[in-house]
Every structure is written in C-alpha cells, then in structure tokens.
Structure 1
Amino acid sequence: MSTTKTVLITGTSSGIGLATAVAAARDGWQVIATMRNTAKAGPLLAAAAEAGVSVDVRPLDVTDPASVAACFAGLDRLDALVNNAGAGHLGTLEQEDVEEVRAVLEVNFFGVLHVSKAALPLLRASRGRLLTVTSVGGVIGQPFNEAYCAAKFAVEGFMESLAPVAASAGVSVSVVEPGAVASEFVANVGVTEDAMAQAGPYAPALAAYLERTRGAFANAQAAEDVAARIVELLTAERPAFRVLTSDAARAFTGVKLADPDGSAVQALTGAWIAS
C-alpha cells in the first residue's frame, strides 16, 4: 500500500495555488490541483514539468455544490485540503449593488464551506489537516475592500470556531494570512476608467487608496514564499491555528492581534469542549 499522502488544493491556475501545488508535489505529496477552468492549466503544468514533478489537474468550481460533489466523488483518501480559491473585489457600498457583495461572499466564504464540508469525512478518517488561505484583510478591514474583507473575516471566524471541534475528531485546522503577494490576483481585481468615473464623491479617496496599494504591491511577497509556509504546515508536528506569512503581515495585523498565532484563543475554546 502506498504511503504517499494526498492533498487537494483549490485555485491552482495561478499565484499561491499554483506555487503550492508545485511545492507540495516537490515535497512528496500526491497533489490534486483543482481550478474552475482546466483550460487554464498550462502555466501549472509547465511549472510542474520544470520542477520535475506531476500534479493531477481536476475541474472544481467552489461555488457550485454539484461541481464540488463531482470532484470528491472519486476520492477514497485525503490527508489535507488547502482552500486557496478566491477572488478580489474593490468597491464601496453606496456605489455598488448588494448582489455584487453577495457574489464576493459566494466565492471567498461559501466556496470554502462547500469544499471543507465535502473534505471533512475524509480528513477525519486520515486525521488530516484543513488549511485555508485567508488574508490580513481577514483581520483588519481595508478601504474599498468591504466585501472582500467581510468574506475573509467570515472565514476567519468560521475556522476559528470550527478548529476545536474538528480537533476533537482528529482534524487540524489552520488559516494562512498573507499580506501583499505578487500574483495575478491583484491584476484580476482591476479598476477601469469607468469604475473611477462612477466612484463619484469617493473618487479622490479611491485614487489615494490605489496609489498607496501600488506601492505596497511593489514590495509584495512572492507566491513561492507563501507556498513554502503552507507546505511547512502540512507536515508540522503541532501546526499553529494562524500563520502569518511575512514580517509585513505580522506588523500589519499586530496592530490588532494580541494573540498572533491563535494559541490563546484555541486553548480557551478548546477547554470548553474537552472531555
């Protein structure tokens, strides 16, 4: 019987997901690399080939329960899940439709729930690990990121609440919080001239925010660095609940977090359900 462990990673067509799939495969994991549109698998497959590893690419739309069910239908073992799929969004409440906000939550929050729910029976069986890539935006709300930060706050709260319950069944739960990361994620957010024109009374504030953000992402952390931290978590003897992936992320969230690795909160709430 093979002793190779299996990890399923969502959102692997680019950025952190792509880098994590390659890094995990290089570390000896059997990698199920999922993405909504497998026609975009070229960069991942090229990176894997360059690294001398292989990955199993499968379609998965995290917002579609049928797609999630189909992806998990053929799995008989899973040792780890990395929830990475997500989408950025810039906007402010007065200037956008609430349905746009709802769509952001579908991808970044409910998508995580759909996949995690499907994975948990397998993770219980293997006493595995459930990792979710969140963001420093899940700790500190940021201008014009209201919907995105709301989704990431929701993920953080959900996983922090789930962690002691999952631990009681042998499953380790962690969240990974990057700051600015050099990837296509930022480019995919996009702010068009039309969007600037429609910003109305918020246009000066949006322009100032974008200028500040360009500076922050000029010194962004490499996706490969974040991937390395995720792979460490996959094999750590005692994985922390919260992992901040850079000094910049630690400094930023340190403004708010007095319990940076989540251990105090986990000790507190874990005691509530200890048998």
Structure 2
Amino acid sequence: MTGPRTDDLTPVLVTGTSSGIGLATAVGAAVAGYQVVAGLRDPARGDALRAAADAAGVSGRLRTVRLDVTEPESVAAAVKETVDTYGRLDAVVNNAGVGRLGTVEQIGVDAFRAVLETNFLGVVEVTRAALPHLRATGGRLIAVSSLGGLIGQPFNEAYCAAKFALEGFLESLAPVAARTGVTVTVVEPGPVASEFVTRLAPSVPALIERAGPYEAAFHSYLGATAQLFEQAQSAADAAAVVVDVLGAERPPFRVQTSDAARSLAALKLADLDGSAVQAVTRAWLD
C-alpha cells in the first residue's frame, strides 16, 4: 500500500477516535483521501469527531463504529463491518489507550491489569483480528505508542509497562508480518497537549494523599512534567506523522513525532547500561 488508490477509497480502521491523536488521525486520514472507519468505545462520545469531520469537509469519508478494544466480540464486529462495507481493509491504526498515574504502592495491581488490558492486550486483539485482511491487501499495521514505550517514567509504571509490552510485541511481530506483505510501524509521540493528559488530573489529589514516602518526589515529578507539557506538541501535529506513515513508500518500524521525542529516543537506544536515562528521569524527582 502506497497511499490512496485512484480507483476507489482505501479503508483504514482507527481505534480510540473520540479525542486527541485518534480524533486528529481519523480526520487527517480522511482529508488525505482515505476512507476512515473510526472506532469509538462509546459512540455517544463521538460528537467532537463528527464536528471535526464536518469542519474539514470529510464527513462522507468517515464512518463511525462501536469498538471497545477490551471486548473481543466488539473488535471482531468492527473489523467485519469494515470489510463487509468496503470489501477490504488496507490499514489499522491502533490508537486506543488509557493513562494511569501513580507508583505501584499507590494504585495496586488491579490498576496495572486495567491499563495492560487496554493499552497492550487491546492492540493484540485488534491485530489478531485484522491480520488476515491486511495480508490480503499488503496493508499496514500502525500503533501509537509513546516515549513511555522506550523510557520508563516515574509514577507512570503501569502505563510504561503496557507501552513497553506493546513495543516488544510489535518489534517481534514486524519481521514475521513482513514475510506476508504486512508492514508494521510504531509511532512514538513525546508530550502531546490532549484530553488524554487532562483526564489524569482528577486523580492527583488522592495520589498525593496516598504518596507516603514518595510525596516529595511526586510533587517534584508533577512540577517537572508541567514544564515539559508547556512545550507539548499538538495532537494534530502528532497525527500528521501517523498519516504520513500510512502513505509512505517504505515506512520505518519506529518513528517519533517531534524533535524532542527523537532526542530522547536516541538517548535511550544508545544507553547500553541505562545510566543516561536514569540521570534524566531522576532529575524529574529532584
């Protein structure tokens, strides 16, 4: 697949499109000429997506479907609806995800299970369902990961664990999928200004109350990340990288969405003993 065909529209399934990078990717792909099937865990939360599609003049190239990545039957139904409607599936963008602040003593193991269920196992389920159809079209499998999939970040243990698992899964799958004509790419944003981050804010007061010996470090982390997000990339800019991958002739396995993300990724990938990354993340707690 090298971008939209000229004879008809190329169907792309995007998960997690109610806001943020997912919403911007769905609209941006439609603007680029793709037929987008936009997955929504709760279709009632699709107003912002539909309004953005209307404003961009691409409502006719964007179809919404209920898709909860934690429900295998929902995943199977969304993939089937896409193929039944358009006769094929050319690409999948795994974007659905949740965040969770807190260290393991604050949030407990159940919180880890919930984050892994959406951010990792949800991608596994969508990928499993989509691969036969992507093989038929020589299609693309894309996942929106995070620098948190390369760099373990303080007080983001559950989120980073899930993103590390995601990247390990897809890095392992990529050469196997390539043998059958399917290209796999992981997209790694750094800080992005979106509702994904603002949804975490209500959990902060309770986390401070339960911080115990980590209270000072947690306050320092909150201050450091607030400064990082002052330079945050927009969701639209991050999504533009995803859309570029959809149309690239030879997409890479791993791509970052900003110079800041590229700089930190380069640090991690050259850091054989882990000391360079630890120096950076420890500084967030000082």
Fold match (TM-score > 0.5)? yes
**1:236 aligned residue:** 248
Partner of 1:147: 158
Q: For residue 203 of structure 1, what is the aligned residue in structure 2?
A: 215
Question: 1:37-75: CA deviations, max 9, x gaps?
Answer: 010111111111010002101111101111112212223
**Cα displacement string for residues 77-104 of structure 1 (whole angstroms, at most 9, x for unaligned residues):** 1000000000011111122221111111
- Give the corresponding residue for 1:53: 58
Name the SS for the 1:88 alignment partner. coil
**Which runs of 5 or more structure 2 residues have no equivalent in the other structure?**
1-5, 272-286
Q: CA RMSD of the aligned region, Å?
A: 1.3
Q: CA deviation at 1:188?
A: 1.3
The residue that corresponds to 1:90 in the other structure is: 101
Q: Which residue of 1 aligns with 2:3?
A: none
CA positional deviation for 1:200: 1.1
Q: When the two structures are superposed, what TM-score results if normalisation uses the length of structure 1?
A: 0.92
Q: Look up the match of 2:177.
A: 166
User: Which moves more between the two structures, 114-123 or 71-80?
Assistant: 71-80
Q: How many residues align?
A: 259
Contact 1:82 1:130 in 2 (8 A): yes
Given the alignment of the two structures, is residue 179 of structure 1 paired with residue 190 of structure 2, yes or no?
A: yes
Select the residue among 51, 68, 72 that pairs with 2:75: 68
2:259 matched to 1:252?
no
SS in 2 for 1:8: strand
Query: Post-superposition shift, 1:242?
Result: 0.3
Q: 1:39 aligns with which of 39, 44, 52?
A: 44
Name the residue aligned to 2:140: 129
SS at match of 2:12: strand
Q: How far apart are 1:11 and its partner, in Å?
A: 0.4
By how many angstroms is 1:3 displaced?
A: 2.4
Q: Distance in 1 between matches of 2:205 and 2:188?
A: 31
Measure, in 2, the Cα distance between the counterparts of 1:99 and 1:194.
17
Q: Deviations over 1:190-213 (max 9, x none)?
A: 233222111111111111001111
Letter of the 1:128 counterpart: G
Aligned-partner Cα distance in 2 for 1:192–1:226: 26
Tell me what 1:263 maps to. none
Q: Alpha-carbon deviations, 1:216-261, whole Å to 9, x = none?
A: 11110011111111111001110000001100001112111149xx
Q: Please give the secondary structure, in 2, of the residue aligned with 1:75.
A: helix
Structure 2 letter corresponding to 1:112: V
**In the alignment, structure 1 residue 192 sits paired with structure 2 residue 204:** yes
Equivalent residue for 1:113, pick from 124, 128, 134: 124
Whether the aligned pair in 2 keeps the contact of 1:131 and 1:175 (CA below 8 Å) is yes
Gaps of 5+ in 1: 260-275
State the 1:2 CA deviation. Answer: 4.9
Is contact 1:12–1:85 with CA below 8 Å preserved after alignment?
yes
Say which SS state the counterpart of residue 269 (structure 2) adopts.
coil
Give the structure 1 partner of residue 280 of structure 2.
none
Please report the TM-score for the alignment, with normalisation by the length of structure 2. 0.88
Q: Extract structure 1 runs of 4+ deviating beyond 4 A.
A: none
Other structure's SS at 1:90 match: coil
Instruction: Identify the residue that residue 265 of structure 1 maps to in structure 2.
Output: none
Query: Does the CA-based 8 Å contact 1:87-1:189 persist in structure 2?
Result: no
Residue 23 of structure 2 aligns with which residue?
18
Measure, in 2, the Cα distance between the counterparts of 1:83 and 1:198.
Answer: 33
